[in-house]
Amino acid sequence: MNSHALFLPLLAFSFSIASFASTTPVVTVVSPVAVSSGGTNNIPYDGPSPVHFVGWATSADCPRGIRAMSIYSSTGVLAYQTRSSFVDAQLTMPPGSYASIVQVTDSCGGRSSVSLHENVQAATGQIIVTQPISNVAYQRRTWPDGKCECNHNL
């Protein structure tokens, strides 16, 4: 038997094991700003606290799935963690500027992250009406018979 004929299948098998051991999960964040794996969104979130974080992760290379998603409000400061592939968290953050990181770890040891920037404002106590007409005073009165009298000219 040719020694090369035996060597090539073993070489291909060793590469497939090595590629399986190294996984890279994908993380997508849609709030407070949109960004995907390895990316940084340089357009900061400008708004009040709490800051609403929404995102999810997948790992096509790891059959055991996602182990955890973590939100770091700054380098090394863990603000939130879930043992899930989905995060939906309202984080209370004092006013200031933040360079937060959303990191995902899969069950095969792979990691991925995204960087976000937040400028958290002090709460003003002001209510901004976005529906039906932005920033116009609005009143809704429901009568005992269930009919609605809606008036935006107060």
Residues 115 and 73: beta-carbon distance below 8 Å:
no
pLDDT of residue 36: 84
- Residue 47, in any domain of the structure: yes
> What are the average pLDDT values for consecutive 10-residue runs of the chain, which has 154 residues?
46 36 80 81 85 92 93 92 93 91 94 91 61 48 56 44
Q: Name the residue among 53, 52, 64 with its Cα closest to residue 25.
A: 64
Residues 51 and 87: beta-carbon distance below 8 Å:
no
pLDDT of residue 109: 92
Give Cβ neighbours of residue 31 (< 8 Å, ≥ 6 apart). 52, 53, 54, 55
How many Å apart are CA 44 and CA 116, to the nearest integer? 7
Which two three-digit tokens encode residue 50?
Answer: 């709490």
pLDDT of residue 56: 92
* CATH classification at residue 85: 2.60.40.10
pLDDT of residue 125: 58
How many Å apart are CA 85 and CA 115, to the nearest integer? 18
pLDDT of residue 81: 95
- Residue 16, in any domain of the structure: no
pLDDT of residue 136: 47
Residues 94 and 75: beta-carbon distance below 8 Å:
no
Question: Total domain count for the chain?
Answer: 1
Q: Which domain holds residue 99?
A: 24-123
For residue 81, what are the β-bridge partners? Answer: 70
pLDDT of residue 39: 74
